[in-house]
A and B are shown apart, each in its own frame.
Chain A
Amino acid sequence: MAEQTEAYIRNHFAISPQDARFGPAVDLFEGGYVDSVGLAELLEFIQDQFGVEIPDEDLLSDDFATIEGMALIVCRHRVS
């Protein structure tokens, strides 16, 4: 799940393979990788790919700022 999301973000937001800072633990927003408009597209990817609609309360959680955190949130809502 984290791998798929990372691949989507790398591809969709044109992140250079040479970008050493980028990874599953990086803060996507503070790092400038994803903006508000881009996040809307990412949310649709998550909904299409994993069948999960991220609740508002999770959207602004610290976890949702990283790929690995997003994967945890998606897993939680998939089983609930």
Chain B
Amino acid sequence: MSSLRVLGELDRTFAWDGVRMYEDADLGPDAELPLELRGAAATAHMGDSERWRLVRDPLGVNKLFWVEAAGTLYLAARPWRLTQEGYDLDAIRAIPRGSVIDLHPAEGSSLKHDIARDGSGSPYRDVGVGAIARRIRSEVSGFLAAIASAHSGARAFVCLSGGLDSSGIAALAQEHFPGLVAVSFDLDRHRGQASEDRLAAGRLARDLGLPLLEATVSGQQLLEHVDTALLEGIDWRDFNVHAALVNAALGEAIADAVRGEDKREPVLVFTGDLANEFLADYEPERYRGSTYYGLPKLAKPALRRILVRGLDTSHREIGVFAAWGLAAVQPYAAAADAYLALPDAFISSPDCKALLCREMLGERLPGYVFSRRKARAQVGGPDVGGGVLGLCVDRGFDAAKLKRRFAELHGVSDLSSLDRFIRTGVYRSAVPSIMGVTSGRA
């Protein structure tokens, strides 16, 4: 390999070290190794003497893919950027999550360092749940404060379903972004009534004093976003595509709302994602007698490990919002270590999320938020038929069709290629090899 080229734009970095946000200069090869990095980062920076440093955050929130051809390393935030240039999906690898890779093409050398991935050996050992909850709140709040400081004057939105996770982010983000606007998704299926999510979001927005932007779309309008969901979401699995469709509708509504405004600062979109993975708070869904969104039959602690590992794949939030020119931020990422330090016995409790959120947010949220029954954003309430899952199933956009379409969009004729691209929530990954790779730890 003698040169490196980045195709298209990479995702915006929202990473910090617990005190301040990382800036571009902090992620280049001339800076100290960013081994405390938390949040979202997938970067490629060149330093002196054509040395490069690639960084990917420990959860794999931001994505970075590569292919090597004719002595050049091509990097892109989306595989379609590479397949569009004629490279096979089979040749594409992800940069491993949680890695800092220093490349020196002229010398033919590369060195990989690992960013710590979890709370093992963390200061949370022997600390009670209450203390961890307060730590989560302070980490998320500190992260939001750092973003507000780095992007003062930025327009800020929060995706609000009225569930615990998004409500918590809304309450905390409001403290740092005075102009925060809540945005709520709903699917208009001509039944003349709002979904339970919309009603809950509207009530909470009123109680928090947030303006509410309503993103209400028809089934047809939503399905027009399928290709965007697949290409920018980098996944074909139904649970992720359905969530990506919701985000596409939210993104379109926000983009419409800010059209013509000054864009010197990014338009920020906060979401409550990741808490479900950190607490293994998912269940399969039933629709018309079939089960969707199946999960491995594992105890909660093991399921949590699998779900957190699975954050490596799917860009259903950041990738899809980026398609609308919006910078999505998942603030719970900043508190990953604290979440992962929650004891196995605690996360095995069926009401652990409500208990944790009460400890974290207490008086910041009205009591009804803590007692509301969980509804997935893709579903929108207990009536699955009113949600995106029901719409997609009814219109024939089943798992097989989504997989075929993803393959078509990436120029793949053999569907087994896809099974070699994502396996159990992980992208095929490797360190770009330049005459051998060595691993190092600082």
Contacts and interface: CB of A to CB of B under 8 A. Distances in A.
A49 B297 CA distance: 17
Contact of A39 (B420, B421, B423): B423
A19 interface: no
B96 A57 contact: yes
Q: How large is the interface on A (under 10, 10 to 19, 20 to 34, 35 or more residues)?
A: 10 to 19
A59 B426 contact: yes
A56 B97 CA distance: 9
Nearest to A27: B416
A57 B312 CA distance: 12
A39 B424 contact: yes
B424 A36 contact: yes
Question: Which has the most chain A C-beta neighbours within 10 Å: B97, B420, B422?
Answer: B420
A30 B205 CA distance: 49
A61 B395 CA distance: 36
B296 A38 contact: yes
B420 A40 contact: no
A44 interface: yes
A37 interface: yes
Interface in A27-80: 29-30, 36-41, 43-44, 56-57, 59-60
Contacts of A37: 294-296
Interface residues of B, number: 25
A64 B309 CA distance: 17
29 contacts: A29-B419, A29-B423, A30-B419, A36-B422, A36-B425, A37-B295, A38-B296, A39-B423, A39-B424, A40-B306, A40-B425, A41-B297, A41-B298, A43-B424, A44-B296, A44-B306, A56-B96, A56-B97, A56-B427, A56-B429, A57-B96, A57-B429, A59-B423, A59-B424, A60-B420, A60-B421, A60-B426, A60-B428, A60-B429
Interface of A: 29-30, 36-41, 43-44, 56-57, 59-60
The 3 lowest CB-CB distance pairs between A and B, nearest first, are A40-B296, A60-B428, A40-B306
